[in-house]
Amino acid sequence: MTVLPALTEPRVSGSRRSAGSAWVVLSLSVVALIGYAFAVPDTQSILFAVVAVACVASLMMAPRFNRPNTRLPWRLLAVTAVLFLVGAVLRASLADAAGHLTSLWPDAFTLGGYACIGSALVMFLRHRRGHGDAGSRSDAVVVGVGAILLAWSFLVVPTLGADGAGTALRVVSSLYPPIDALLLFVVAQIAFTDVSRAPAFWLLLLCMVAIFTGDIAYAVDIARIAHPPIMLRDGPFLIAYGAMAATALHPSMVVLTVPQPARVRALVRGRLVTVAAAVVAPVLVILVNPPGAGLRDRVVLAVGISLLFGAVLQRSVRAVNQHAKSEAFLAVQATHDALTGLPNRTKLSERTAADLHDARGSGHAVGVFFIDIDRFKVLNDTWGHGAGDELLVAVGTRLRAVVRDDDCVARAGGDEFAIVCRIQQATEEPTAIADRLFSAFADPFRLSVGDMVLTPSIGIAVAEGDAGYTAERLIRDADIAMYRAKDAGRNRWSLFTTAMHDAVAERLSIEQDLRRAMEAGTISLHYQPIVELAHENLGGFEALARMEIDGRRVPPDVFIPVAEETGLILPLGRWVLREAVRQLGLWRNQYSDLHPDLYMSVNVSARQLRDPELIPMVRAEIAKHGVPPHALRLEITESVLMDDAEAAMLVLQQLRDIGVHLYVDDFGTGYSSLGYLKRFPVSTVKIDRSFVSGLGADTDDQEIVRAVVAMAQALSLTVVAEGVETLVQRDCLRAMGCTSAQGWHYGKPLPAAEAVAAFIAPTPEERAKSPILARQLAGGKRTA
């Protein structure tokens, strides 16, 4: 078995080792401390040495199994432990009978240890900080300087003044408190970097606090302020050793060298209290213990307090600056697009409104040009968003270059840009400006994925200053005109006219009508027969939606596109599918003797294929009405298959798995690609009415239909011809080998009851009305 090394994720919780050993070592040091209290001096030394050696061993081994991302600081800690131990041993062995020390050697080792531990702490800090929280440094300065001031007045001054020891020794001893203060400065920063406060962090803190305590006890002793018992002087170092070892052993030690996320956080209460205490404490000290007359004391205190306030000031200044900066940033962000740096839609409206205002009574007009990049989606889907972004930036730059400096180029969203400018009506044609905008697209765009030629569709709306236009209306008009340019075949401009507005208004009113009709239940289905050409038996029906509102009939060519644009096609399509399957179940049941294999064809639009409810619904409905899956046929237009091939493929495959048959509707009007007929699990092609109508007259159409039938046969697909209106067309199709036909020749779409009477079980009256119908559709059984 191979264990993959964690490459990116720091192993914090997933460590193979437990935290147990860390707690064992820490507990051992506590036990040693208790033992220390009762032992004789010789045994004390042995205890001390054992704990120290255990600590060094832990520090050497732990990084091997905890695998932090760097081992250097841990090696430095190991060296620290060794140097401290050597210092302690020397101190014990070089002291005279009275316990006094004259040699500087022990201090040399101990100070070396401080240098090492200091370096290790700085390394932790560096690794943790990442892109840091700058405030943490000022806060740490505050705490550090505060500590130095306290150490100065309470420890350094008395030490230097103490008699008995040699001068060199006194100076060296007085070094410890400031060194501790420096270490405290680093520890404070580690604590203030936004910490995931892992156990290793607390253990490290415990170690440092223990060292500080021990040092203070020693300093107090040397300064002759008091004589703390040996337990207070050596004990803390035992705990420090234990805690240092535990820090390294604890699996969470890895977080100490992992960059912490640079979160912007408000001042945490603990941090606030610490910083405040560090500022206030020295002031209190001066109050309680006014500086001696000595100049040196005053200078130290003055410098310290200045530093303190400097750090606090720096922090506040930074906070204020940051606030101002983020406000400015937010202001720009609210009105500008992050990708292109251009003004966004909000700014576009503001600018248009301002220009309209300025244009009042000035004789010039305001023009808005809405630009959409043709087939941007294809580029994005084919080459990825990176390429799309590159293009948008390039388009923004080029548009800026072809307009006047005081024109506003904005990104209106997605792949849409808009330009607002003044138009001197006497001399300038808006279409000339549009031509300049086109020139921005003349050269291919050099993208990292290659050179791309792209075209825009441009919508133009112009308003005179006095026409009472609002910015919103002008922008909307330009948008409408842009869509018109797209509909007209892209790569062109279109100038807004009120007729366009009427079209939009009509679309809106259709939407309203559709909603009302759906609520009122005045949508219904009509059924048009599909006939098997070989014997002219009824094969099945296509269900076609009908809408009636206020006594008017709205044709599906009008309301279906609106339903698709608005998403209303989802509820509508679900209803159509349910109703059609229900009707089919009923008919199959009732007329099983006449039409045992009756099927129903239902139109399904693109949106519906993306409806997660489609598959479960199809399953449920056919089960509910006892319809065998193959009796349900779903018609999908060519364009749906092409536009979102991957997604469509998945859904179609699932439908095919249920057993439902899939038809390609309106074949020949779109891509007419052989490739996807082969790729998609379709069973049938429906040749579009426009080709069928030319049969017998237009030889081109004849050849196209012949080719489609031949191709379908080669792929073992069946063919339904749509819009068969004449006998000539029928004969043509039959001769070519077309499977089925649908059209007015056989019958128009009718409501259910009429469809039964006319096609399923023709009544004698119906037969009398239409002899062809009766003979052709009722199949062999009822024809005498």
Which residues of this chain interact with ligand C2E, rule CB under 6 A?
A: 528, 544-545, 555-557, 560, 573, 576, 603, 605, 635, 665-666, 689, 722-725, 742-744, 749
Each residue 586-625 as x (binds Ca ion by CB under 5 A) or -, in order, gives -----------------x----------------------
Least CB distance to Ca ion at residue 669 (A): 9
CB 734, min distance to ligand C2E, A = 16
Residue 457 interacts with, from ligand C2E, Ca ion, none (CB under 5-8 Å by kind): none
Nearer to ligand C2E, 501 or 574 (CB): 574
Rounded Cα distance between 424 and 49, Å, is 94
For the record, the structure tokens of 259 come out as 């960059």
When the beta carbons of 133 and 638 are compared against Ca ion, the nearer one is: 638
DSSP calls for 447-476: ETTEEE---EEEEEEEEEGGG---HHHHHH
Tell me how far, at minimum, the Cβ of 640 lies from Ca ion, in Å.
Answer: 12
Q: How far is the CB of 585 from Ca ion (least distance, A)?
A: 21
- DSSP secondary structure code for residue 5 in this structure: P
Using CB distances below 5 to 8 A depending on partner kind, what does residue 274 bind out of ligand C2E, Ca ion, none? none
Q: With binding defined as CB under 5 A, does residue 477 bind Ca ion?
A: no
Contact 569, 560 (CB under 8 A): yes
Based on CB atoms, which residue is closest to ligand C2E, 418 or 545? 545
| 740 touches Ca ion (CB under 5 A) | no
Stretch that binds Ca ion, among 179-187, 521-529, 624-632, 666-674 (CB under 5 A): 666-674
- Residue least distant from ligand C2E (Cβ): 743
Among 107, 665, 701, 766, binds Ca ion (CB under 5 A): 665
Cβ 607 to ligand C2E, closest distance in Å? Answer: 9
Give me the DSSP letters along 695-744. TTT-HHHHHHHHHHHHHHHHTT-EEEE----SHHHHHHHHHHT--EE-ST
DSSP per-residue letters across 307-342: HHHHHHHHHHHHHHHHHHHHHHHHHHHHHB-TTT--
Three-state SS at 546: strand
Cα–Cα dist 331/323, whole Å: 12
- Indicate the residue among 221 and 665 with the shorter CB distance to Ca ion: 665
Nearer to ligand C2E, 142 or 576 (CB): 576
Least spacing, CB of residue 327 vs ligand C2E, in Å:
51
Cβ nearer to ligand C2E, comparing 500 with 514: 514
Exposed (0-12), middle (13-18) or buried (19+): which is 188, by Cβ within 10 Å? Answer: buried
Total residues contacting Ca ion (rule CB under 5 A)?
5
Binding site partner of 749, from Ca ion, ligand C2E, none, Cβ cut-off 5-8 A by kind:
ligand C2E
Helices (H) and strands (E) in the chain, counts: 31, 16
Torsion, CA 139, CA 141, CA 144, CA 148, rounded to 10: -140
Q: Please tell me the distance from the alpha carbon of residue 408 to that of residue 421, in angstroms, as a whole number.
A: 7
Nearer residue to ligand C2E within complex by CB, 26 or 755: 755
Closest distance to ligand C2E from the beta carbon of 533 (Å): 15
Which pair of structure tokens corresponds to residue 615? 């598959």
Smallest distance, Å, CB 725 to Ca ion?
14
- Asked whether 606 and 564 are in contact (CB, 8 A), the reply is yes
Please report how the helices 556-566 and 569-590 are oriented relative to each other, as an axis angle in degrees rounded to 10: 130
Radius of gyration (C-alpha) of the chain in whole angstroms: 44
66 CB contacts (<8 Å, ≥6 apart)? 15, 17, 248, 249, 250, 251, 253, 254
Q: Among ligand C2E, Ca ion, none, what binds residue 723 when CB lies within 5 to 8 Å by partner kind?
A: ligand C2E
DSSP state string for 65-82: HH--S--HHHHHHHHHHH
Cβ atoms within 10 Å, residue 689? 18
Nearer to ligand C2E, 416 or 666 (CB): 666
The yes or no reply on residue 635 touching Ca ion (CB under 5 A) is yes
Q: Which is nearer to Ca ion, 337 or 688 (CB)?
A: 688
Least distance from ligand C2E to the Cβ atom of residue 440, Å: 39
Tell me whether residue 638 or residue 766 sits nearer to Ca ion (CB atom): 638
Say if residues 122 and 186 touch (Cβ distance below 8 Å).
yes
The token duo for 239 is 């705990």
Q: Which of 666, 694, 738, 743 binds Ca ion (CB under 5 A)?
A: 666
Q: Which range binds Ca ion by CB under 5 A, 91-99, 110-118, 520-528, 632-640? A: 632-640
Question: Residue 746 carries which side chain, given as an amino acid letter?
Answer: Y
Please report how close the Cβ of residue 548 comes to ligand C2E at its closest, in angstroms: 14
Place of tokens 């010039």: 364
Q: Which of 483, 502, 549 is closest to 521 using CA atoms?
A: 549
> Minimum CB separation from ligand C2E for residue 666, in Å?
6
Cβ closest to Ca ion, residue 103 vs residue 639 = 639
Judged by beta carbon distances under 5 to 8 A according to partner kind, the member of ligand C2E, Ca ion, none in contact with residue 733 is none
Q: How far is the CB of 433 from Ca ion (least distance, A)?
A: 43
Binding positions for Ca ion, 707-726, rule CB under 5 A: 722
Per-residue contact flags (x/-) with Ca ion for residues 296 to 325, judged by CB under 5 A: ------------------------------
* Closer of 555 and 764 to ligand C2E (Cβ): 555
**First-last CA distance in the chain:** 81
Minimum distance of ligand C2E from residue 689's CB (angstroms): 6
Q: Which residues bind Ca ion (CB under 5 A)?
A: 603, 635, 665-666, 722
